[in-house]
Structure 1
């Protein structure tokens, strides 16, 4: 019996238990599921070329042995087999290959194999997210068959593109625009057509990258009156009525029309690297607290907030989770030969930050894989809500990568390639992820020019524009940030020559080129100002 039938028969308690029952687990029960599924995965992993490459010829017989003998891995350990789609080398036969950004022009994409079991699991977790998005209290939710779902997702081969296809046999959902049409449209076309359909038909659910939701929200809010909106979105009777009603609501508040004036959503789901900064604005625009979820190409959807919207809780049956604490991450940076220690879910401490390490379950490809995402453990349990599992907030990508709104990932290799192509005489440099007054992230590049360079006579803006050309060339996703999101992703600060060298001498420490600490940036700026 699928979910449609259960909803029609009002079997709500059974549905909640099936999809949200993991929130009743104790931490010991959670870990029992984790360890049992990992041992099943080790059996699959040991019988394939990829598994033997990572684990060696001797299969670990316990979880402890697995963590002790299997090294931490990165995508480089898998790239040759995965990019070649070497199905016979995988633990289980893939049904889909999902794509994401890797390192700009150096390594443009990553591919990850998805088995039938993984897709079925992903379907269950996303339905859980839909249920929780329409829930304000434990055990109660308003999700029903036939909901109208605004399509704010990237199509296949990206992860979010699976959603319409995999839930279709379980739950009737009317996507706006319909899936086949949406997949043939550009980003801008999907948003425009989806909103136009939403004005006529209504919208119950919305899911997208937080940065994309903000673009759509601002686009609506910038229209100053109903006549402008009618001209932009079309003139169907239902749309006109909805616009006029929204205009009247907004006029009472003496402001422009907001999405909440047009629709009363049942649920809004958001994801993406900058979600924490966007969520308050999204709620202000849409009049509903968004449900944050977390997922990625390699791990799939692995965590969701609950009805309380007070932290991410990990699903127990998607991946096996390990965590590298911040102190170990710092030691790893200072000494590349150092092997950082990992902790399990039942060993974490509230307030600490951790880098996530996952091992795929259900025939997936990755073992002890450093995903590159950092979380803060908010609390190890939440007795007030009756959830006895750790709650997390997403912090950002690991310090070696600057992720801007989920659209592009800028690495040291990307920057060096752009420098090389630009032929600017750039000496010392470092880059940080920063935020503007609207909490939009951008890429802040601090650099010194070689003393023999005549580029000192060139303005900062000219250098910025020159570099931006090559970043757009090196990283295909970079150029979309300004065109699609209205973000100018690059800010350049030129430091006096020798500033970074003086910093190293003063503090006798290594400066990280990508995302140095806030203290480092402040001290370097002080030294730069003293030199002026």
Structure 2
């Protein structure tokens, strides 16, 4: 029996158990699932070229042995097999290859294979997410089938492009615009058509990047003041009634019409590195508390908040999870030869930040893979809702990367390339991720200039203008931040020549180029300000 029929027959208990039952697992039950599926994956690894290489020709018989034999890995360890898509070397046959950006000009893209088992698991959890997004208490099902779903996702080959296909194969929804139309449209076209259709037919569900959801709210509020996009001829009577009420309210309050004045969403799903900072703004625009999820190309979608929308819970049967405490990660950043310790889900402490390490289940490619994503453990359980599993909040990418609005990841390599191509006389630099007054992330680049720059008209505005051009050249996603989100993501500060070398002399260690620690940043700026030339 399909989900649509279960919804028609109001078999809500069965639906909840099928899609959300994992939230009733005890920690021992959860770890049993993790260990059983990891042993199955080891068997698949042992029978393929990639697995034999990763496991150094050995075949571990326990999960602990696997963790001792297999080193922590990064994408470079897989690139020679995955980038040319050598399927014969993999532990499972891919049904689809998912793509994402890597490191700009040096390594433009990376790809990941998704097997049938991975896709089936992801398909189930797509429905789980919609159920939880539209519920406010345990066991609540408000879906009826046939909901109107605003399409706010990047199309295939990105991971989000797989989601509408999986949802539509599980339940009846009406994507606005349709999947086929959306995939042939630009981002701006998709938004425009989606809003037009939403005004005609109504919107029940919406999933998108947090930065996009907020931008769409901004754009809607700005456009509503003119009313030029509100044509009543094609609208349903119900939508015209809502429009009339919203217009009357706007005239009385002298405020713009917001999306929540037009649509009464059942559920709003968000993802992205800046979700935590934008949640209140999303709720303000759209009228419902958003449900945050977490996913990535290598791990797939692996976590969701529950009906309370107050912390991420990891799905038990998509990946095997290990966690590197932040203190261990920082030792590795200082000394690349240091091997950081990892801990399992039942070994964590609250209040600690961890880098996530994953091993794919169901024939996926990645083993003990460092995702570079940082999570903070909020609690080991939720007594109020009787959830016995840890809950997390996504913090950010690890300090080696600066993620801007979920669109682009700036690395040391990216910045070095941009500076080299610009031919600017920049002799030293370091970069910090910051947030502006609207809680939008940006890249703050501190630079020292050489003698030619000092003698010439080398101002921060000139440096910013030149580097912005080359960032857009090296990383095409960088240009999308301005054109799609209206964000100017680069800020430049010139510091006195010799500041960074003085830091090394004073502390006996080099300043990290990407996201120096909070206290190192304070110390280096003290040195810079001592020169009275920071601008």
Calculate the TM-score normalised by the size of structure 1: 0.97
2:63 maps to 1:66: no
CA distance in 2, matches of 1:261, 1:233: 13
CA contact (8 A) 1:50 1:90 kept: yes
CA distance in 2, matches of 1:233, 1:432: 43
CA contact (8 A) 1:449 1:455 kept: no
CA contact (8 A) 2:91 2:364 kept: yes
CA distance in 1, matches of 2:240, 2:188: 22
* Corresponding residue of 2:518: 518
2:218 maps to 1:236: no
Change in Cα spacing, 1:524 to 1:233, as seen in structure 2 (3 Å) is farther
CA distance in 1, matches of 2:527, 2:467: 25
CA RMSD across the alignment: 1.2
CA contact (8 A) 2:127 2:170 kept: no
* Corresponding residue of 1:382: 382
Deviations 1:215-256 (A, max 9, x none): 10000112353xx22x13544352655433222234444421
Shift in Å, 1:456? 4.8
The answer to which of 445-454 and 389-398 deviates more is 445-454
* Corresponding residue of 1:150: 150
Secondary structure of the residue that 1:180 maps to in structure 2?
Answer: helix
Shift in Å, 1:50? 0.7
The answer to which of 53-62 and 182-191 deviates more is 53-62
Change in Cα spacing, 1:456 to 1:521, as seen in structure 2 (3 Å) is farther
* Corresponding residue of 2:489: 489
Deviations 1:145-170 (A, max 9, x none): 10100000010000011112123232
Map 1:185-200 → 2, pairs under 5 A: 185-200=185-200
CA contact (8 A) 2:260 2:287 kept: yes
2:282 maps to 1:282: yes
CA distance in 2, matches of 1:495, 1:457: 15
Map 1:5-84 → 2, pairs under 5 A: 5-84=5-84
2:333 maps to 1:333: yes
Shift in Å, 1:382? 0.9
* Corresponding residue of 1:266: 266
Calculate the TM-score normalised by the size of structure 2: 0.97
Deviations 1:368-405 (A, max 9, x none): 00011000000011111110100000000011011101
2:102 maps to 1:102: yes
Shift in Å, 1:454? 4.8
CA contact (8 A) 1:199 1:242 kept: no
2:370 maps to 1:370: yes
Change in Cα spacing, 1:253 to 1:137, as seen in structure 2 (3 Å) is farther
Shift in Å, 1:436? 0.3
The answer to which of 314-323 and 519-528 deviates more is 519-528
CA contact (8 A) 2:56 2:69 kept: no
CA contact (8 A) 1:195 1:233 kept: no
CA distance in 2, matches of 1:212, 1:127: 22
Secondary structure of the residue that 1:340 maps to in structure 2?
Answer: coil
Shift in Å, 1:477? 0.7
CA distance in 2, matches of 1:531, 1:260: 52
Deviations 1:467-489 (A, max 9, x none): 11111000011111000001001
CA contact (8 A) 1:425 1:455 kept: no
CA distance in 2, matches of 1:318, 1:250: 47
CA distance in 2, matches of 1:224, 1:452: 51
CA distance in 1, matches of 2:34, 2:224: 53
CA distance in 2, matches of 1:41, 1:250: 58
The answer to which of 452-461 and 186-195 deviates more is 452-461
Secondary structure of the residue that 2:476 maps to in structure 1?
Answer: coil
Shift in Å, 1:523? 2.3
Secondary structure of the residue that 1:385 maps to in structure 2?
Answer: coil
CA contact (8 A) 1:449 1:456 kept: no
CA contact (8 A) 1:97 1:114 kept: yes
The answer to which of 40-49 and 498-507 deviates more is 498-507
Matched pairs, number: 529
2:446 maps to 1:449: no
CA distance in 2, matches of 1:335, 1:526: 26
Which sections of structure 1, spanning at least 5 residues, go unmatched?
none
Which sections of structure 2, spanning at least 5 residues, go unmatched?
none
Map 1:428-443 → 2, pairs under 5 A: 428-443=428-443
CA distance in 1, matches of 2:384, 2:352: 21
CA distance in 1, matches of 2:143, 2:48: 41
